[in-house]
Structure 1
Amino acid sequence: MKIYTSLLFLFVSISLFAQRPEPEDIIISGTILEQGTNLPLEYATVSFTDRDNKIVTGGITNEKGKYKIEVPQGMYTVQFEFISYKTKQLTKQRLFKSTTLPTMYLAMDSESLDEVVVRAETTEVQVRLDKKIYNIGKDLTTSGATVSDALSNVPSVAVDVDGAISLRGNENVRILINGKPSAMAGFGSTDALSQLPADAIERVEVITSPSARYDAEGTAGILNIILRKEKTLGLNGSLSANYNVPLGSGLTTNINLRTNKFNIFNTTGIRYNDAPGRATFENTYFSETVENPFLTEERRYERLRKGFNTNLGVEYFINDNSSVTATGFVRTGDNGTTTTNTTDEYNRENELAINRVRTEEETEDDTNYQFTLNYTNKFDDNGHELTVDLQYENGDETERSFIEEFTTFGINDIIPTEDITTKEDKKEYLAKADYVLPIGENAQFEAGFNSRFEETATDYLLLQEDITTGGFVRNDDLSNVFTYNENINAVYSQYGNKFGEFSFLLGLRLENTQLKGEVATETDVNSNNPDFDLNFDKNYTGLFPTVNFIYELAENENISLGYNRRINRPRSWFINPFPSRSSEANIFQGNPNLDPAYASAFDLGYLKRWGRKLTLTSSVYYQHETDAFERVQEDTGEVTANGIPIIRTIPINLATNKRYGFEAGLLYNPTKWLRLNGSFNFFKFETEGFYNNVDYGTSNTSYFGRGSAKVSLPAKIEWQTNAFYRGPSSTAQSENEGILSVDIAFSKEIINDNATIGFNVRDLFNTRKRNTTTETDTFLSENEFQWRQRQFTVSFMYRFNEKKKRERPGRGNGGDGEEGFEG
């Protein structure tokens, strides 16, 4: 530890010493522009390295791309850098008097084939062959927010009231962290994203037509979350704190130390949140045998979330072309939830017959950690490179529920108390390599492999009260250990080229998937679940082609066409056949008979830019999915101890799902003080299929749209308003009402622009609620669900040795037209 402390002190001392001007300093000036557009690159980095390969000093460009730096007289190599652009150098520069260096033109850097640059947008979005890139660093409404909150402001993306993430209305979206599956994203679940601070994000890549380099998982596409890592020299970082109402608080630090041999970066956060929620259910049973055919449930959720996360990485530069990066991530949680479920049963005369209160006290302790090792070797400056990644992840979660139910009115049935303990252990191993070979000036070949092995073991123990003795007895019918394995091996290759105004990227990926499930219980589990094969070993091999074309109609206008084939593998909670216990009458049950779904998708896009003020992005898309997943509700034929029919929700494979859609985004910056953007997504889907002799075929249209306005007020105050609306939708059984949500935020720069104070309100009108009506031949169910109430947040961020904006205005941010700082 003393060695690391000494090194840290040494690096800081070097950085500070390098900034001290000597009496014989001279002035070196110049300009840095973007190649092809001649637009200025603001906050590009200029550094001066002496004969001993030590960086003596440096600086950054202003909004006009100009720099003026004091430099001691001497012989230097001058290096010019800007994030996502190729680095250039002027070697053997004899600088002994004030000099203006030649204007430098930097070109975008195609780090890998899937990031072949078609154009670098100077407004709010970067468009590449297979993705759109949004930077959220300047979105005021994400101050003090989580990653899940930040994603809700990204065009094409919608986050449901219970945190479910969808892309273009499709929830089967793959979440990656820095291009890889990660414990940070919760092993496929989105719950973890609601525990990570949004301050950790640099940018979000929306990949609707993924290249062959990416895992074929996710029929909707991929959201790749890129975490912040500083690329400029010296010690810098930020500290942010926030306080919420309902009660909550958080503290996040971002620290980065970079020298010419090391880059050390860390993000650490702690969170404390009290998040109340509510849900109501109203069931009407049509069967004449049900004594009390009208039932209402009202649930109250009191959630206490305490969490810690840290991400520490060390990048070592072996030489100018190769580096090794080791990263460790740890996330812990100590959560508690009290769910109070009040049930009223009414007889046929609509008179209250029974009132019951069911209380579930749930505690959850979880620890997730991840270790990643990356090796990168850039054989030259033209994109010829090899990258190798090794990753290990482990997640342990222990959840205990104590469920009591008692009657306050009506027949006083004695209902046994339940004590449930669920232990879940997840392990994942990942190995991947990617090789990129440029061919000539415009062509590029890429190949690689990917192996991922994941195991989830769920130990479920149900103890029920013995009414006679008062003791607790194990329920052998439901207590079980369910082990689920998902093993994937893949190889791929792809080739891209550009002929004049025409660019293309062709790829093919071969994947083998093995899905294994095994249940261990004290009883014959198959006899109790005759419809399910609880011990299975399935193997699937498939080819997944990708095709992407772009044609540049003009310098600021292009059209694109993409095709890809994808797979949707069932997650462990969709497979596990043992039902939830929060409610006796409304349960969720997994289906081990689920098979993967396959989808083929087409995307036709158009982009037009009018100067630096206005950008239009649009696309028309079509997707055809076979064996598509669908959640259905059905009467199980069983009743509770009180004689109430048990309704279960279960995922099934339907025959087909066809989805048509159109989306458009408009980014408009009419003046320096006003920035506007909006997006709209309209889609229609058609499903066909039967389950248990019930036709679940349906056709439905829906849409969602968002708008954002940001105003720069006097006294360095900024005001932002975001609005989101999801239109009504329906499935074969259910009708969902529309949802409106409005967020507002204010911020002000203080302490010489080194700090920011902010205030925001999420869900200003407290309308973010899901209302659903489900009707079948045997019952009618109406419910309303609100995961989180309106929230007020006060935040403070302090930055040291870094600018508020480290990149030039007008690039990348899907929310406001300016990219935020990286750190």
Structure 2
Amino acid sequence: MKSIQVLFVTSLLLLSSFIYAQPGNSGPKIKVSGNIVEKISKQPLEYATITFFQPGQTKPIAGGITDSKGSFSIDVPAGTYDISFEFISFQSSKMTGKVLNSDTNLGSIGLSEDAQMLSEVTVRAERTSVEIKLDKKVYNVGQDLMVKGGTVSDVLDNIPSVTVDPDGTIALRGNENVRILIDGKPSNAINITEALKIIPADAIDKVEVVTNPSARYDSEGGGGLLNIILKKGKNMGLNGTLIGTVGDPENYGLSGNVNFKQKEVNFFATIGYNYRNNPGNTQVDTRYLNADNSTRNYIDERRENERLNKGYNANYGFDWFLTDKTTWTNALNLRRNSNQNPETVDYYNYDANQNFTGQTQRFNDQTGGEQNVEYTSTLVHNFKKEGHKLTLNASFALNQDHDDSAINYGDQLTTNKEIQNRNVIMADYVLPIGKDSQFEAGFKGEYNSLDTDFRVDTLAVGTGYNPDLRYTNHLIYKEKINAIYTQFGSKVGKFSYLLGLRWEDSNIDINQLQNQDFNNKHYNNFFPSAFLTYQIAEESTVSLNYSRRISRPRGRFINPFSNYSSNINLFKGNPDLDPSFTDAFDLGYLKRWKKLTLSTSAYINRTTDSFQFIRRESGEFVTNEDGSQTPVILSTPVNLGLEYRFGFEFTLNYSPYKWWKINSNFNFFRVETKGDYSYTDSDGIVITENLDNTAYTWSTRLSSKVTLPYKIDWQTNFNYNGPQKTAQGKNLGVPSMNLGFSKDILKDKATVALNVQDVFNSRKRITDTYLPGVLDSHSEMQWRVRQVTFSLTYRFNRQKNDRENRPQRENGGGDDDFQG
């Protein structure tokens, strides 16, 4: 490791000397050394930066970074300098007018963590993988052994406060109304859940979890935001990483990222190929009921999936440093995937006395593919005053997705074609006022169109294939959202506040061409936010936050049909869904000790027109071989009414020893829903169900990372999602555990890793459903069986825990990581 550090620092110094050499600094070289530590704990800060300037100038003369002990030694020409000491998420420190005529040791420089206004308190242990802030958590993906060779879904499933259930549904603190962003912008994927199962984890730098966003961010997502930051190197010179993976079930991939930075331009690229086989299974045991709740018959459904995916992913771009204050970034992202999912569904039929009456089989040979292209352009201009900044951003994306299925070797054919265009334009302005105040304003326009053409054709004797109009649908969804926001924050002593207001105009067309049903929904809303923070002491802070949020139904929520893999259990979207609105309150407390960090919060959410999934009789029947009929059960989302959600969570980061790090998260919440749902059954009778429900549930996560002898890292993750009562049954508790091991080799230039996802093969969605007079069922769904993955990572001209690719924050500014 030391040899790499020496090589890296030496290269940096040579480049700095070549690029920043200026007249008047060609005198004899002297050595300037010192040590940078965290001010309170005295822990050394590795990869802190030291930069030398001529007094009154902004262009660096020389610079370097600290080693693993926080030490630095830099050769500079003799002279007078302003010296800057910086480390991400810490307040910078400066020495001005320092006269250096001979070798000088600057001693120990202590940096304090940045307890800025706007709830931007960052607490981190040395080289930790989780940074805890009052309003969000930042998860650094590169240091987690659990995700080597995995996907973004695997990444999210290892993040505090976030859960990913077996079918890929993402929830934040138990709430599934989550907004997913990539590099601060909405994902251009048509099906974000499926896209996150495809994008390799190696392409991800970090993930930000924002539980209660301010007016600066999108108002979308009643449960909060997840922002996925892609890798983009910023080290001087040529550097990069190459990663190869192989696993069982059959799984392999090769990816690499490279970066080349000079004085005026920084080129970056990430390219990867992955072949993944994700076999899964589902079982549904159903007792069908008569009107008096007596047993009519039984059907046991067994489903086996293969889910084979081959994917290419590439991201190319450059940063052009137009001036010392202006940077223009351009990037092109390309993604292409093909998939196969041969699915066998067996139905075992029994009479009312559970006597076996016959077996039927349904084979669904599904193939598909996706092509995606996205171009983004970002211009950032920093004005003369520190923190005064203007950011302009635009992105243009086209996504095409298609799936074809042949059911029972051609008895039925399904075709699903989707084309999506998404264009986003953003402008953000930040103006510091005085020492401790700041004004922000911005605009965002998001314009999205989605064309979905789903068709089911049935083979008929003598007439060929005829469309089945019950399941055939052509949906065109167009969305135009324009937003402006403003907010002001200030700090008075130990008290900070941030008050904001966002206004959004939504114009949405939902057109069903099949039945000539055209609908427009046009509404505009104000979204206020308020954040209050009080710093009790240097190590503890308390905050009270409020924001108003919206969840707009999209994708499968509104698409009437998009899948026909089962003919007795159907999912149907609801085009008539209205958006839901959430008022979110959060009381947070942050306390830090030398080896322990505690972050805890209590939260209350009130949601109107909340989305709820219900199961009901569709009014249709499937005729079995023995002549009996099985009712087709329909799952669909509805606007139920009111939802009250109250909970508390805490996250602990504890490092009892240098060789042992523990991270844990616990979330408990109560959900109360109120509302009725009416539908017409197969006999033409209007059925009204009261779906009032109160449920308590909890989840916990424990991660332990231990450094074993011979510098072998061992990481263990344990997760448990507790049982939860629903209006129509209950979800059972599910435990799971992951293991990971890694070892640095080749003088720390490479790392080998082995991880096991779902060690006990227990990660399933287990649900009991009871519909009086219809059915009583038990289902278990396992999206992916246990997986073992081996990976090899090789780095050239890059440190193992490279932090320079994380953007520096502006002093006195707001959160610059992503803006909405």
Give the TM-score of the pair, scaled to structure 2.
0.88
2:537 is matched by which residue type in structure 1? A
Q: Which residue of 2 aligns with 1:408?
A: none
Measure how far apart 1:542 and its partner are.
Answer: 1.0
Alignment of 1:227-238 (within 5 A): 227-238=230-241
Percent identity, please: 41
Alignment of 1:51-66 (within 5 A): 58-66=63-71
Q: Of residues 482, 496, 500 in structure 2, which corresponds to 1:507?
A: 500
Q: Which residue of 2 aligns with 1:587?
A: 570
Measure how far apart 1:231 and its partner are.
Answer: 3.2
Q: Which residue of 1 aligns with 2:136?
A: 131
Unaligned runs of 5+ in 1: 1-10, 406-415, 527-533, 813-823
Kindly indicate whether the alpha-carbon contact (under 8 Å) linking 1:110 and 1:383 is maintained by their aligned counterparts in 2: no
Larger mean CA deviation between 76-85 and 545-554 belongs to: 76-85
- Residues 202, 489 of structure 1: CA spacing in aligned structure 2 closer, same or farther, 3 A cutoff? same
Q: Which residue of 2 aligns with 1:366?
A: 370
Q: Of residues 588, 598, 605 in structure 2, which corresponds to 1:623?
A: 605
* SS at 2:504 equivalent: strand
Q: Of residues 458, 463, 471 in structure 2, which corresponds to 1:464?
A: 458
Measure how far apart 1:781 and its partner are.
Answer: 1.7
* SS at 2:710 equivalent: coil
Q: Which residue of 2 aligns with 1:251?
A: 254
Q: Which residue of 2 aligns with 1:209?
A: 212
Alignment of 1:767-782 (within 5 A): 767-777=762-772, 778-782=774-778
Q: Which residue of 2 aligns with 1:435?
A: 429
- Residues 562, 535 of structure 1: CA spacing in aligned structure 2 closer, same or farther, 3 A cutoff? same
Measure how far apart 1:127 and its partner are.
Answer: 4.5
Q: Which residue of 2 aligns with 1:479?
A: 472
Q: Which residue of 2 aligns with 1:42?
A: 46
Listed one character per residue, the Cα deviations across residues 530-588 of structure 1 (whole Å, up to 9, x for unaligned) are xxxx4210112111111111111111011111111100100121111236311111000
Q: Does 1:717 align with 2:699?
A: no
Q: Which residue of 2 aligns with 1:149?
A: 154
In 2, Cα distance between equivalents of 1:540 and 1:722: 44
Measure how far apart 1:359 and its partner are.
Answer: 0.6
Larger mean CA deviation between 641-650 and 759-768 belongs to: 641-650
- Residues 635, 582 of structure 1: CA spacing in aligned structure 2 closer, same or farther, 3 A cutoff? same
Measure how far apart 1:36 and its partner are.
Answer: 8.2
In 2, Cα distance between equivalents of 1:120 and 1:38: 14
Kindly indicate whether the alpha-carbon contact (under 8 Å) linking 2:414 and 2:564 is maintained by their aligned counterparts in 1: no
In 1, Cα distance between equivalents of 2:635 and 2:334: 34
Kindly indicate whether the alpha-carbon contact (under 8 Å) linking 2:89 and 2:122 is maintained by their aligned counterparts in 1: no
1:772 is matched by which residue type in structure 2? T
In 1, Cα distance between equivalents of 2:67 and 2:298: 69
Larger mean CA deviation between 219-228 and 697-706 belongs to: 219-228
Q: Which residue of 2 aligns with 1:536?
A: 519
Alignment of 1:337-416 (within 5 A): 337-404=341-408
In 2, Cα distance between equivalents of 1:433 and 1:335: 38
Q: Which residue of 2 aligns with 1:420?
A: 414
2:513 is matched by which residue type in structure 1? A
In 2, Cα distance between equivalents of 1:751 and 1:468: 69
- Residues 495, 512 of structure 1: CA spacing in aligned structure 2 closer, same or farther, 3 A cutoff? same
Q: Which residue of 1 aligns with 2:282?
A: 279
1:595 is matched by which residue type in structure 2? D
Listed one character per residue, the Cα deviations across residues 169-203 of structure 1 (whole Å, up to 9, x for unaligned) are 011111111211123xx256222112122222222
- Residues 53, 379 of structure 1: CA spacing in aligned structure 2 closer, same or farther, 3 A cutoff? closer
Measure how far apart 1:768 and its partner are.
Answer: 0.5
Kindly indicate whether the alpha-carbon contact (under 8 Å) linking 1:614 and 1:669 is maintained by their aligned counterparts in 2: yes
Q: Of residues 141, 145, 153 in structure 2, which corresponds to 1:140?
A: 145
Q: Does 1:606 align with 2:589?
A: yes
Measure how far apart 1:473 and its partner are.
Answer: 2.6
- Residues 379, 579 of structure 1: CA spacing in aligned structure 2 closer, same or farther, 3 A cutoff? closer
In 1, Cα distance between equivalents of 2:100 and 2:535: 43
Measure how far apart 1:626 and its partner are.
Answer: 0.6
Q: Does 1:669 align with 2:664?
A: no
Q: Does 1:596 align with 2:573?
A: no
* SS at 1:644 equivalent: strand
1:449 is matched by which residue type in structure 2? F
Measure how far apart 1:771 and its partner are.
Answer: 1.3
Q: Which residue of 2 aligns with 1:28?
A: 32
Kindly indicate whether the alpha-carbon contact (under 8 Å) linking 1:546 and 1:565 is maintained by their aligned counterparts in 2: yes
In 1, Cα distance between equivalents of 2:536 and 2:359: 69
* SS at 2:155 equivalent: helix
Kindly indicate whether the alpha-carbon contact (under 8 Å) linking 1:422 and 1:461 is maintained by their aligned counterparts in 2: yes
Measure how far apart 1:674 and its partner are.
Answer: 1.1
Larger mean CA deviation between 366-375 and 117-126 belongs to: 117-126
Larger mean CA deviation between 62-71 and 746-755 belongs to: 62-71
- Residues 188, 785 of structure 1: CA spacing in aligned structure 2 closer, same or farther, 3 A cutoff? closer
Measure how far apart 1:721 and its partner are.
Answer: 0.7
Q: Of residues 677, 681, 700 in structure 1, which corresponds to 2:667?
A: 681
Q: Which residue of 1 aligns with 2:23?
A: none
Measure how far apart 1:622 and its partner are.
Answer: 0.7
In 1, Cα distance between equivalents of 2:531 and 2:496: 8
In 2, Cα distance between equivalents of 1:70 and 1:446: 41
* SS at 2:233 equivalent: coil
1:708 is matched by which residue type in structure 2? S
Kindly indicate whether the alpha-carbon contact (under 8 Å) linking 1:129 and 1:550 is maintained by their aligned counterparts in 2: no
* SS at 1:715 equivalent: helix
- Residues 48, 802 of structure 1: CA spacing in aligned structure 2 closer, same or farther, 3 A cutoff? farther
In 2, Cα distance between equivalents of 1:120 and 1:585: 52
Kindly indicate whether the alpha-carbon contact (under 8 Å) linking 2:289 and 2:295 is maintained by their aligned counterparts in 1: no
Larger mean CA deviation between 43-52 and 192-201 belongs to: 43-52
- Residues 147, 460 of structure 1: CA spacing in aligned structure 2 closer, same or farther, 3 A cutoff? same
Q: Does 1:799 align with 2:803?
A: no
In 2, Cα distance between equivalents of 1:296 and 1:715: 52
Q: Which residue of 1 aligns with 2:5?
A: none
* SS at 1:137 equivalent: helix
- Residues 134, 636 of structure 1: CA spacing in aligned structure 2 closer, same or farther, 3 A cutoff? same
Q: Which residue of 2 aligns with 1:704?
A: 699
Give the TM-score of the pair, scaled to structure 1.
0.88
In 1, Cα distance between equivalents of 2:359 and 2:190: 40
Measure how far apart 1:78 and its partner are.
Answer: 6.2
Q: Which residue of 2 aligns with 1:189?
A: 192
* SS at 1:535 equivalent: strand
Measure how far apart 1:377 and its partner are.
Answer: 0.7
Measure how far apart 1:603 and its partner are.
Answer: 0.7
In 2, Cα distance between equivalents of 1:85 and 1:603: 25
Larger mean CA deviation between 476-485 and 160-169 belongs to: 476-485
Q: Does 1:455 align with 2:459?
A: no
Listed one character per residue, the Cα deviations across residues 664-686 of structure 1 (whole Å, up to 9, x for unaligned) are 11111011111112111001101
Kindly indicate whether the alpha-carbon contact (under 8 Å) linking 2:168 and 2:194 is maintained by their aligned counterparts in 1: yes
Alignment of 1:47-86 (within 5 A): 58-71=63-76, 80-84=85-89
Q: Of residues 269, 274, 284 in structure 1, which corresponds to 2:272?
A: 269
- Residues 509, 805 of structure 1: CA spacing in aligned structure 2 closer, same or farther, 3 A cutoff? same
Measure how far apart 1:734 and its partner are.
Answer: 2.2
1:803 is matched by which residue type in structure 2? Q
Measure how far apart 1:126 and its partner are.
Answer: 3.8
1:601 is matched by which residue type in structure 2? A
Measure how far apart 1:93 and its partner are.
Answer: 8.1
- Residues 298, 731 of structure 1: CA spacing in aligned structure 2 closer, same or farther, 3 A cutoff? same
Kindly indicate whether the alpha-carbon contact (under 8 Å) linking 1:446 and 1:495 is maintained by their aligned counterparts in 2: yes
Listed one character per residue, the Cα deviations across residues 771-796 of structure 1 (whole Å, up to 9, x for unaligned) are 11100111112111000000111111
Aligned length: 773
In 2, Cα distance between equivalents of 1:141 and 1:606: 29
RMSD, matched Cα? 3.1
* SS at 2:394 equivalent: strand
Q: Which residue of 1 aligns with 2:317?
A: 313
* SS at 1:171 equivalent: coil
* SS at 1:486 equivalent: strand
* SS at 2:718 equivalent: strand
- Residues 444, 75 of structure 1: CA spacing in aligned structure 2 closer, same or farther, 3 A cutoff? closer
